[in-house]
Amino acid sequence: MQTEQPHDVSTEIGDAVRRRLAGFVRTLRDNGFAVGLAETRDALRLLASPMAARAELLRQALKALFCATRADWEKFDEIFDAYWQGRGMKRMRPASLSASSPTSSRMPAISALAERMAAAPQSAEHSMDEAGRDARDSHERPARASSAEAISKKDLRDIADPQEIARTHELAERLAHAMRARLVRRQRARRRGRRLDLRRTIHRSVSHGGTPIDLAWRHRKEKPLRLVVLLDASGSMSLYTAFFVRFLHGVIDAFRECEAFLFHTRLVHVSASLRDRDVARAVDRLSLMAQGIGGGTRIGESLATFNRWHAQRVINSRTAVIIVSDGYDTGDPEKLAAEMQRLRRRCRRIVWLNPLIGWKDYAPEARGMQAALPYVDLFAPAHNLESLAALEPYLARI
C-alpha cells in the first residue's frame, strides 16, 4: 500500500517570494513575535492560496496567524507595511514574476511586492530599521507608563536622580493640563436649564410651522472656577519648592482664571513670570523676584499682605485658595488665625496642601498649622504626584 506524501506548497511559490517570506518571519522574531516552523508552513499555504491575490486579505490572514498577543497585534501593521510595501520608499511600477512560475497568474499582489523589494534592498533595510524602532517604541510605551506610575507614588524628597527629577517636573505640568481639561468637561456636562426661554423657543419653532419642538432653556450664568495658589518657598519647603514651581507653571498655563504667589518672609506675586512659555526662563525670573527665598516663614504677615493688597482683585465667589505649606510659621499664631479668618470670609474654599502629611506618624502640631486648621475646608497631602491628582475630584465639586 502506497502512503500519500504530504503536499509541498513551497514548490508552487517562486524563489523570490519564499526568500521574502523567510526574511519577514526573521524580522518578526527580531521584534519579539513567537513564530515557529508551523506558522511558517501555514504562511506558505496562504501565499499559495487565492487569498494572496488581494494584499489586504493576505495582510489580515498573516496578522491572525502570526500575532499571539495584543502587543503583537498593535505593531504588526507597521512591520508589514515597512517590509512588504517599503514604507518611505519611492513608489515603483510593480513587476510580475516570470511566466515559469505556476502561481504567477493568481498572485499579482505578492509577486509585485517581492520584485519591488528585491529591486531596492537598501531602502527596504532602511524601512525595516524604522519598523524596528517603531516596534521597540511599542515595547517601551508600557515601560514608560509603568515608570510614570512609580514616580507618581514616590515622595518628592526621595527623588535624587536628575533624570527622574526632570521626568517628575514634566509629569507635574501634564497633570495640571489634564486637571483643567477634566474640570471643563464636567462643568459643561452639568449645565442644564431650569426655566423655559419662551422667546427663543418661539423663534426656533418658526422652522417647524410654529410647533415648539426645539425647546430653549434659561439657566443661571456660572462663573468659571478660579484658583489662587499661595506657595511656601521657605527653607523647610526647599525639597518641594522646585517641583511645585513647575506645577504652578502648568497650572498658570492651563487655567485662564488663576493667580500664583510665593511667600516666605514676604509675599511675591509671580503669575506674570510663570506665564512665560519657556519654563527655565520663567523659573529664573521667578527666583530674581523672590529674593530671600529659602529663609524663614511668616505666613501670617504674608497673608495680611495678600488680604490687603491682592484679595479684592483676584478673589470672587468662585475662588478656591490653595495654600501649599508645611505650616511652620515663625510669626505670631494669633495673627495667622486672624488673617485666615479674613480670607475665609472672601473665598469659596480654602485648601491647605501639606507635604508632611505623607510622612509616617506626622501630626499637625506646629503652632501655625494649629492656628490655620479651623478655617481650612480641605487639609490634604502634597508629597507626590498622586496626591496632587486626587485634588481634581474635589475641585470639580466646587
Cell of 159: 527623588
DSSP strand pairing (319-324 vs 226-232): parallel
H runs (alpha helix) in the chain: 15-30, 37-47, 55-66, 70-84, 108-119, 121-153, 162-190, 198-205, 238-254, 271-274, 279-289, 299-309, 311-314, 333-346, 367-372, 385-389, 391-396
What average pLDDT does the segment 236-247 reach? 85
Whole-number pLDDT of residue 193: 62
Whether the pLDDT of residue 32 is over 80: the answer is no
99 pLDDT exceeds 50?
no
Predicted confidence (pLDDT) at residue 109 exceeds the cutoff of 80: no
* Predicted confidence (pLDDT) at residue 274 exceeds the cutoff of 70: yes
Distance (Å) of CA 17 to CA 37, 52, 74, 113, 117: 17, 11, 25, 9, 10
Q: What is the pLDDT of residues 276-285, one digit of tens each?
A: 777 777 777 7
Average pLDDT over residues 171-200: 68
Strand arrangement, sheet containing 258-263: 267-269, 258-263, 226-232, 319-324, 349-354, 378-381
Picking from 96-105, 251-260, 322-331, which range would have the lowest pLDDT averaged per residue? 96-105
Is this structure's pTM higher than 0.75? no
Does position 41 have pLDDT exceeding 80, yes or no? Answer: yes
Q: What is the mean pLDDT of residues 297-306?
A: 94
- Residue 327, by phi and psi: left (phi above 0), alpha (psi -120 to 50) or beta? left
The three cell numbers of residue 248 are: 504652578
Q: What is the mean pLDDT of residues 193-218?
A: 78
Across the chain, mean pLDDT equals 76
- Lowest pLDDT segment from 223-227, 264-268, 296-300: 223-227
pLDDT at 232: 92
Does residue 117 have a pLDDT over 90?
A: no
Q: What is the pLDDT of residues 303-331, one digit of tens each?
A: 999 999 999 999 998 899 999 999 999 99
Residues 244-262: b if buried by 16+ CB within 10 A, e if exposed: bbbbbbbbbbbbeebbbbb
Q: pLDDT digits over 347-393, tens only?
A: 999 999 999 998 888 888 899 999 999 999 999 999 888 888 888 88
> What single letter denotes the amino acid at residue 376?
V
